[in-house]
Amino acid sequence: MEKQGFFYRDTWAEVDLDAIYQNASAIKRLLPDDVELIAVVKANGYGHGDVEVAETALAAGAGYLAVAFMDEALALRKKGIAAPILVLGATRPEDVHVAARNRITLTAINFEWLEKAASVLGDSSLRIHIKVDTGMARLGFKGLDELKQAEAFLEQDSRFLLEGIFTHFSTADELESSYFQHQLKEFETLLESLTVRPKYIHASNSAAGMRFAGARFNAIRLGISMYGLSPSPEIKSSLPVELNEAFSLHSRLVQVKKLHKGEKVSYGATYEASNEEWIGTIPIGYADGWIRKLQGQEVLVNGLRAPIVGRVCMDQCMVRLQEYAPVGTEVTLIGKQGSNFVRIDEIARKLETINYEIPCIISNRVPRLYKKDGKIVGMHNHVLGS
Ligand SMILES: *Cc1c(COP(=O)(O)O)cnc(C)c1O
């Protein structure tokens, strides 16, 4: 196939940019016109590709981007993204001039950070959002006194442009909402006691942004659901928009053999054929993020489910085919084949974790292909640096 001209390994991930566009625009349509969509593209766009997701989200109506670390913001600038970018995490205050030079917005996490940043900022000016800790105990100013102190400090230092204030919910994806309401109330109370009204006031991640109109203020930070995933299994059935999974994972059979009863598979010889069985080898393993705990997980071959048998190796694993299939047959590890679908949520359940983790842990050794209108429009092969 032509798309394989750019890499020599029969394993790749596909990112459906149309799905990301549809998810982002459907959620944007839920919002009143004066609520900004901040597209969260940290961690290489949750493993999907930072600049590809950023461009798609901006085209779908996002007006701001967010990442976790300044390095990620700089990477986007290098790749030509001119849109405003907020760094949600902590940046060393001694590095604020880098943000200023690259028009990157930083998060002020406490008063000490502001003072240190002020002492090294020089003549530069810096756009900041103040983070308020309303009950997550991660980052942020705590309580009114510290916020008032910041307000007074910023009033007399015009190098800081206070553009936003925000908080983060810890239980927005749960059915039980009392702690969420408690955090929301705390945030509202603090806002009322301040005299400044920054341009952006935001609190909601995907879950809160979709579920609670009263928590949208004038911007939401959309991450997981832009990628087509539900923030949690328990709210999945009640989400107000239909989400389309953007990430899929593919490989091909590179060897197929018939095993006789009693013959064994992989390290430790832990799997033994109980009959005559067709065993196929696929070139993906734990170094790709397809971790050993995925032993037993089913993949799709010719639309049929085939379990991974024996231990997952660093670079390969073996599957038991329901019927013979030739070398070169496509294997879908995440995604759809015919009427069968292995969803990211299924992989997350198998790994006893959340769906967020799955595309994030598929490593950079796996090339990413980007699809738009059913066509391949780009690819990244980090191994070859292309
Ligand atoms: C990652 C992150 C988000 C996005 O959350 P989702 O649940 O993926 O929508 C929002 N806000 C902050 C502070 C984050 O770190």
Verify that 264 and 130 share a domain, yes or no: no
Ligand 1 contact via 168 beta carbon (within 6 Å): yes
In a domain, 21, yes or no: no
Q: Six-digit token pair at 162? A: 């206070």
What is the DSSP pairing of strand 264-265 with strand 104-108? Answer: unpaired
**Percentage of residues in the chain having pLDDT higher than 90:** 96
At residue 289, the pLDDT reads: 98
In a domain, 237, yes or no: no
Please tell me the distance between residue 222's alpha carbon and the centre of ligand 1 in angstroms.
7
Verify that 272 and 301 share a domain, yes or no: yes
Mutate to test the pocket of ligand 1, among 107, 136, 221, 227 (most ligand atoms within 8 A of CB): 221
Q: What is the mean pLDDT of residues 214-223?
A: 98
At residue 339, the pLDDT reads: 94
Verify that 180 and 298 share a domain, yes or no: no
Verify that 156 and 292 share a domain, yes or no: no
Please tell me the distance between residue 238's alpha carbon and the centre of ligand 1 in angstroms.
20
User: How does pLDDT run across 161-196, given as a tens digit for each residue?
Assistant: 999 999 999 999 999 999 999 999 999 999 999 999
The domain in which residue 143 lies consists of 31-226
**Dmax over Cα atoms in the chain, in whole Å?**
80
Q: Is 8 exposed, middle or buried (0-12, 13-18, 19+ CB in 10 A)?
A: exposed
End residue of a domain, out of 226, 260, 289: 226
Domain of 159, CATH number, reads: 3.20.20.10
Verify that 123 and 258 share a domain, yes or no: no
Entry pTM: 0.97
Indicate if 267 belongs to the active site. yes
Please tell me the distance between residue 301's alpha carbon and the centre of ligand 1 in angstroms.
35
Query: Is 216 known as a binding-site position?
Result: no
Verify that 103 and 202 share a domain, yes or no: yes
Q: How far is 311 from 293, CA to CA, in rounded Å?
A: 9
Q: Which atom of ligand 1 is nearest to the CA of 40?
A: 4
Find the Cα–Cα–Cα–Cα dihedral 187, 193, 199, 205, rounded to 10°.
0
Q: What is the mean pLDDT of residues 310-337?
A: 98
Residue 61, pLDDT > 60, answer yes
Q: How far is 298 from 346, CA to CA, in rounded Å?
A: 10
Domain count, the chain: 2
Q: What share of the chain is helix, strand, coil (3-state, %, to 5)?
A: 35, 25, 40
Ligand 1 contact via 223 beta carbon (within 6 Å): yes
Q: Whole-angstrom distance between the N-terminal and C-terminal Cα of the chain?
A: 19
Verify that 211 and 253 share a domain, yes or no: no
Verify that 262 and 330 share a domain, yes or no: yes
Indicate if 42 belongs to the active site. yes
Residue of minimum CA distance from atom 10 in ligand 1: 205
Verify that 220 and 251 share a domain, yes or no: no
In a domain, 16, yes or no: no
Verify that 191 and 272 share a domain, yes or no: no
In a domain, 25, yes or no: no
End residue of a domain, out of 226, 255, 270: 226
Domain of 263, CATH number, reads: 2.40.37.10
At residue 385, the pLDDT reads: 85
In a domain, 4, yes or no: no
Task: Give 49-76 as a DSSP string.
Answer: -HHHHHHHHHHTT--EEEESSHHHHHHH
Verify that 220 and 303 share a domain, yes or no: no
Query: Is 138 known as a binding-site position?
Result: yes
Please tell me the distance between residue 327's alpha carbon and the centre of ligand 1 in angstroms.
42
End residue of a domain, out of 226, 261, 289: 226
Model confidence at 4, pLDDT cuts 50, 70, 90, reads: very low
Verify that 209 and 278 share a domain, yes or no: no
Residue 2, pLDDT > 90, answer no
Ligand 1 contact via 221 beta carbon (within 6 Å): yes
Q: What is the mean pLDDT of residues 68-97?
A: 98
User: How does pLDDT run across 127-136, given as a tens digit for each residue?
Assistant: 999 999 999 9
**Percentage of residues in the chain having pLDDT higher than 70:** 99
In a domain, 10, yes or no: no
Name the H helices within the chain: 17-30, 42-46, 50-59, 70-78, 96-101, 111-120, 143-155, 178-193, 206-211, 344-350, 357-361
Q: What is the mean pLDDT of residues 345-373?
A: 97
Q: How far is 326 from 90, CA to CA, in rounded Å?
A: 51
Task: Indicate which residue of 21, 28, 42, 227 is catalytic.
Answer: 42
In a domain, 12, yes or no: no
Task: Indicate which residue of 199, 257, 261, 267 is catalytic.
Answer: 267
Q: How far is 272 from 263, CA to CA, in rounded Å?
A: 5
At residue 299, the pLDDT reads: 98
At residue 3, the pLDDT reads: 47
Number of neighbouring beta carbons within 10 Å of residue 268: 9
User: How does pLDDT run across 373-386, given as a tens digit for each residue?
Assistant: 999 999 999 888 88
In a domain, 2, yes or no: no
